[in-house]
Amino acid sequence: MTPDPIPLRSPSTLECRSCGAGAPVDEHFCPQCSRILALGRHGDYFSFLGLPRKLVIDANDLERRFRDLSRKFHPDYFYNASPTERLASLERSSYLNDAYRALKNPVSRVEHLLAIEGLPSAKSEDPSMGSGHVTGKVPPSLLEEVFALNEELDEIRELRESGADPEKLRARLEKARAPIDAKRAEHEAQLQELSARWDGQAGAAAAEKRATLDALRERLLERNYINNLLATIEREAASVAGSAQPAAGSHG
Amino acid sequence: MGKVVGIDLGTTNSLVAYVDEGRPVVIRDESGDALVPSVVSVGEDGTIFVGREAQRRLLTAPSRSVYSVKRFMGRGIEDVREDAGLLPFQVSGEAGGVVRIGVADREFTPPEISAFVLRELKHRAEEHFRKQGEFDFEVDRAVVTVPAYFNDAQRTATRDAGRLSGLEVLRIINEPTAASLAYGLDQRNRGTIAVYDLGGGTFDISILKVEDGVFQVLSTNGDTHLGGDDVDRLLVEIVLADLAGSYVRGAGPAEGGPAGAGGRGAGPAEGGPAGAGGRPAGAGGRGAGAAAVETIRRAVIQAKWDLSDLEETEIRIEPSPAVPSGYQKRITRAEFERIIRPLVDRTLEPCRQALSDAGLQPKDIDEVVLVGGSTRIPLVRRLVEELFARTPHSELNPDEVVALGAAVQADILVSGRREMLLLDVTPLSLGIETMGGVVSKIILRNSTIPASGREMFTTGVDNQTGVDVHVLQGERELAADCRSLAHLHLRGIPPMVAGLPRIEVRFQIDANGILSVAARELRTGIEQAIEVKPSYGLTDQEVERMLIDSFEHAEADFEARLLIDARNEAESVIHATDKVLRRLDLDGTGAEVFEPGERERINAALTGLKFVMAGTSRQAIHDWTHALNNVTRHLAEVTMNQTVREALAGKNVKDV
């Protein structure tokens, strides 16, 4: 999950709290006195790690950057420093850890990009409800699947409650799951394709870039929805498994 | 600036280590023992005993002695009732508050008891540096380890214990991670490592990735209520069940706790029933029952140790006032394994969860490291080996490796050396209670620390100036199922129409895994005052008061220290004398060495000294030690000359 980014506030320069000199916003250490800079205003996770705002990232390179910066910022190395520097080290390390976590995962990476490009959050409002139904606003492209799945889940639940053979129910669940899995795989491919498109649009017109971002956001919303569908199936599968061995008091 | 050490503050034993010329070493006592039992005992005159001395007193003064206190750190009375059942001391406390431990007529919180142990370790280290001829031998700072799965309250309690002991806790680090640092010193410098740490009272599993000297924890899991203590308890319960109906009237079955008045029949050596100090009648038998339980506990621990090497052994209890009937039972390793199997199995699910959180399969693990005394149990080794399909490492002493790692971390902090860096994670998700008692997660478990998170709040009523926030830790959806950390009360919100204020609350988990909170109203930029009421911790005021109390008791504690030093000195004189006498007896040269009556005088002084050592009079011990030194002076000269003559004659001293 990506924490909401701090809104950009005139990110031009930063004042070093140790010597008072001005420093570019993406510098970590003061160019004048070389002390660690407080994390006042800053750009975004990409620029913090010295990366371009691109979605296809070399995992090894990202990790190396994370390790190198950890060695520069970590509070372990600021024990004998001034309180100002210690605070700066703590904040900078925290931000680095957040940045690394967000960029490491391709999905949270897209979420972060959307946020810093000014799009509304793609996080869903957790549409799965206690009733076991998947409700909430269904993305139009998933209407058909959601409708079929809810119907099937209702039937399985009824059968389970009337003591049907759990083995058969499991098989039905597997079958109900297949189209959802397929949808998910399709989305993964689309996300990858859109990510590559975004990376190639550095010099493109604003409208073109915006269209890609909108498409990415659309995919993320659908993806979250699909994940919730899968979670609902998992829950039902667990209930089926539970009904198969009602006497089991505890198991691993 | 004083010295810096690393401390493993364990459930059963604690250790202190430091880095000497680039290598971590554990500090031992004169007899080479590195372990300080985490036992604290309060003498009849209020003096505090720690370590071996306190452990001895578990048998003679069980109602005045406390052990396994780590299990109570940062916990509430409702968490520990089960544990308290078999422990000899009084555990009380209000629901939803700090546990209090009654010892004799004093009451302590768990951090205060732990502070006594820390002070003992501090003293041990200072003695060590002093003897090495260091001018500045004061130890004032330490890195202290905790189980990786400790929550915020348990970590804070540990930090409070450090403050109370007069040590600045530079850093709290996780035990398995510390162990990996110690191993990392001379092992391969990259790879994925699983550290399986089963100690006296806690279990941890941590998965780490090591590259370029950066020890990055990928995931951690565990159980802060599972360890060797539980193994002992299972065995004690079996013995108690066997003995039930026989003569051990003081020691009732486990669930009932030691029986009441019945226990008086088997009075301990303490001199009369233990509850005499004005305890509630129901607890009157605790002393007697406790002595029985402690006697049984020692016997089963011995059998447990035996079974690490032997296929079969015996749980053997000699008849004593505590257990008049005595007890004897053969037990095979197979039987032992069948008894403890459910406990060991409980460690496997956290291992799988940690692997899954790290996104790894067992086959992705390059090395498995075993930590903690309980990993000496062959069944534990076998199951770990099966799970990871790897022979686990145990080259370093599993009891000492955590303290060694703590010393390495302490050295990194003060030296500024950057070859190694530890990046740990927070073991549990941090969240706040929202509508309907549901938890909204702000920092997810296994996030690298330091980590931060933010949450926006607003008001529900016009001109509302305060907001309450309930902070929790745990993975469950409902607040009631998570661990309550604190209630925050945000004050000083500028009066506005309901819903208009935008209060940003920032949560910061530092490198110790400890949370701090700050809040600001974004429209006005006004920083909010936050009142924090810890759910299971001490407030700063309480810690301050305890510090003052501890100064008041410092004199008594100083006396206790002197008594222990006197005993140690006496012990070494006795030991040296016994050694010489035995040698003279063996080679039959006594006749030519002793002057008339000398041997008798020595024997008398020996007997006298051994007698007063059982008491608590420092003066008497000192006097008798002096007496023994006097009567053995001639003997010492003779044997010294003999040794010198033999050495000069070309004979190796070792052959003498």
| Most B-contacting residue of A68, A80, A97 (CB-CB within 10 A), to test interface | A97
Active site residue B318: no
Q: Give just the sign of the alpha carbon dihedral B619, B623, B628, B630.
A: positive
Q: How far apart are CA B200 and CA B228, in angstroms?
A: 4
pLDDT of A5 higher than 50:
no
Residue A76: its chain B contacts at CB < 8 A? 171, 409, 412-413, 421-422, 511
Q: Please judge whether A71 and B421 are an interchain contact, meaning their C-beta atoms are less than 8 angstroms apart.
A: yes
What are the CA-CA distances from residue B58 to residues A147, B88, B320 (Å)? 69, 9, 15
Contact list, B216 vs chain A (CB under 8 Å) = 67
Q: Which residues of B touch A4 (CB under 8 A)?
A: 454
Please judge whether A76 and B511 are an interchain contact, meaning their C-beta atoms are less than 8 angstroms apart: yes
Going by pLDDT thresholds of 50, 70 and 90, the confidence category of residue A21 is confident
pLDDT score at A146: 80
Cβ distance B454 to A3 less than 8 Å, yes or no, reads yes
Contact state of B170 with A79 under an 8 Å Cβ cutoff: yes
For residue B273, whether the previous peptide bond is cis, meaning omega lies within 30 degrees of 0, is: no
Chain B environment of A97 (Cβ under 8 Å): 447-451
Task: Give which of A42, A79, A86 to mutate to test B binding, by max B Cβ within 10 Å.
Answer: A79
Q: What are phi and psi of B135, to 5 degrees?
A: -70, -50
A63, A75, A101: residue with CB nearest B447: A101
| A97 min Cα distance to partner chain B (Å) | 6
Q: State the smallest CA–CA distance between residue A169 and chain B in angstroms.
A: 27
Nearest CA in chain A to B510: A90
Chain A residue whose CA is closest to B444: A1
Q: Do B450 and A1 touch (CB under 8 A)?
A: no
**Residue A27 touches chain B, beta carbons under 8 Å:** no
Kindly state the helix (H) or strand (E) to which residue B503 belongs, with its residue range: strand B503-509
ipTM of the complex: 0.78
Using CB atoms, pick whichever of A75, A100, A252 lies closest to residue B450.
A75
Terminal C-alpha separation, chain B: 47
Place of tokens 């401390």: B7
Contacts of A3 in chain B (CB under 8 A): 452-454
A94·B451 Cβ contact <8 A: yes
Host H or E run for residue B124: helix B110-131
Mark whether B455 is an active-site residue: no
Which of A71, A94, A108 to mutate against chain B (most B CBs within 10 Å)?
Answer: A94
Q: Which helix (H) or strand (E) holds B533?
A: strand B526-534
Is the per-residue pLDDT at A43 higher than 70? no
pLDDT along chain B (656 residues), means of 10: 92 95 91 92 87 88 88 85 74 80 87 95 93 86 94 92 92 94 72 92 92 91 90 91 64 38 34 32 48 88 92 91 88 94 94 94 92 93 93 88 95 86 91 85 92 87 88 86 86 87 89 88 79 73 73 66 79 84 80 84 89 82 88 83 64 44
Please report the pLDDT score of residue B252 as a whole number: 41
How far does A216 lie from chain B, in Å, by closest CA?
25
Chain B: residue nearest A77 by CA? B416
Question: Is residue A9 less than 8 Å (CB to CB) from chain B?
Answer: no
| Record: contact A67-B214, CB cut-off 8 A | yes
Across the A:B interface, residue pairs with CB atoms under 8 Å apart total 63
Question: How confident is the model at residue A119, as a pLDDT?
Answer: 85
Note whether B420 contacts A: Cβ–Cβ < 8 A: no
Nearest to A79 among B345, B414, B452 (CB): B414
Query: Distance between alpha carbon A110 and the CA centroid of its chain, in Å?
Result: 7
The pLDDT tens digits for A133-188 are: 444 567 777 777 788 888 888 888 888 888 778 888 888 888 888 888 888 888 88
Q: Say if the Cβ atoms of A67 and B448 lie within 8 Å.
A: no
Q: Give the active site residue among B53, B120, B126, B197.
A: B197
Query: What is the rounded distance in angstroms from the CA atom of residue B331 to the CA atom of residue B338?
Result: 11
Question: Minimal Cα distance from B343: which residue of A?
Answer: A252
Which of A71, A94, A252 lies at the smallest CB-CB distance from B450? A94
Is A98 close to B421, i.e. CB distance below 8 A?
A: no
Helices assigned H by DSSP within B8-92: 52-60, 77-86
Strand boundaries in B147-213, DSSP class E? 168-174, 191-198, 203-211
- Are residues A90 and B510, on separate chains, in Cβ contact within 8 Å? yes
Buried/exposed code over A48-63 (b: 16+ C-beta within 10 A; e: otherwise): bbebebbbebeeeebb
Answer yes or no: B79 catalytic: no
- What is the C-alpha to C-alpha distance for residues B308 and B394, in angstroms, rounded to an integer? 14
Please answer yes or no on whether B511 and A74 come within 8 Å at the CB atom: yes
For residues A149 and A155, what is the distance between their CA atoms, to the nearest angstrom?
10
CB B452 within 8 A of CB B209: no
Q: Residue B647 has what pLDDT?
A: 58
Which H or E run contains B315? strand B312-317
Share the mean pLDDT of chain A: 80
Active site residue B175: yes
Segment A230-239, tens digit of pLDDT: 888 888 888 8
Percent residues over pLDDT 90 in chain A: 23
Q: Which of residues 29-88 of B touch A (CB under 8 A)?
A: none
**CB contact residues (below 8 A), chain A span 209-248, against chain B:** none
Cross-chain Cβ contact A76/B422 below 8 Å = yes
What DSSP string runs through B428-470? S-EEEE-GGGBEEEEE-TT-BSSEEEEEEE--SSTT---EEEE
Q: Are the Cβ atoms of A77 and B418 closer than 8 angstroms?
A: yes
Kindly state whether A129 is in contact with chain B, defined as any CB-CB distance less than 8 angstroms: no
Q: Residue B527: phi, psi to the nearest 5? A: -75, 130
Residues of chain B contacting A77 with CB distance shorter than 8 Å: 416, 418
Is any Cβ of chain B less than 8 angstroms from the Cβ of A71? Answer: yes
* CA nearest to B172 within chain A: A76
Entry pTM: 0.77
Q: Is A252 in contact with B348 (Cβ distance < 8 A)?
A: yes
Tokens representing B327 are: 């007890």
- Mutation target for A interface from B168, B452, B516: give the one with most A CBs within 10 A: B452
Contact assignment for A67 to B211 by CB distance below 8 Å: yes
- Tokens of residue A105, six digits: 């995962």
Contact B447 A97 (CB under 8 A): yes
